[in-house]
């Protein structure tokens, strides 16, 4: 489980509210490597709002293990369109 806040740049990529699963890059800090990820939400995802989401990603592509309360970025590297805060690790295989 994670909290995702889309910033204003996200309007260039998506029409809000987002009702579907999205696939996008996921990275920590200002550097590569990135991991592809799939983001789902039980409710519509809203711009500039703390959305509670579920994220699937490939942890082997990141430099270090993901921990609570790590902060990640989503977007098309290096363009960040949202920030993700890890709330709970659901599995060691890359599920938040």
Taking only the tens place, the pLDDT of each residue in 33-88 is 788 999 999 999 999 999 999 999 887 777 777 889 999 999 998 899 999 999 99
Q: Does residue 5 surpass a pLDDT of 80?
A: yes
69 near 61, Cβ under 8 Å? no
The model carries a pTM of 0.89
25 near 34, Cβ under 8 Å? yes
Contacts of 66 (CB under 8 A, 6+ apart): 59, 72, 86, 89, 94, 96
Length of the chain equals 96
H helix runs in the chain, sequence order: none
């Amino acid at each position: 489980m994670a909290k995702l806040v889309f910033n204003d740049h996200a309007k260039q990529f998506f029409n809000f509210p987002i009702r579907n699963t999205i696939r996008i890059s996921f990275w920590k800090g200002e550097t590569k490597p990135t991991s592809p990820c799939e983001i789902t939400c039980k409710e519509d995802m809203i711009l500039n709002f703390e959305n509670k989401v579920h994220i699937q990603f490939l942890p082997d592509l990141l430099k270090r293990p993901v921990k609570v309360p790590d902060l990640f970025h989503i977007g098309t590297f290096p363009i960040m369109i949202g920030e993700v805060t890890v709330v709970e690790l659901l599995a060691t295989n890359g599920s938040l």
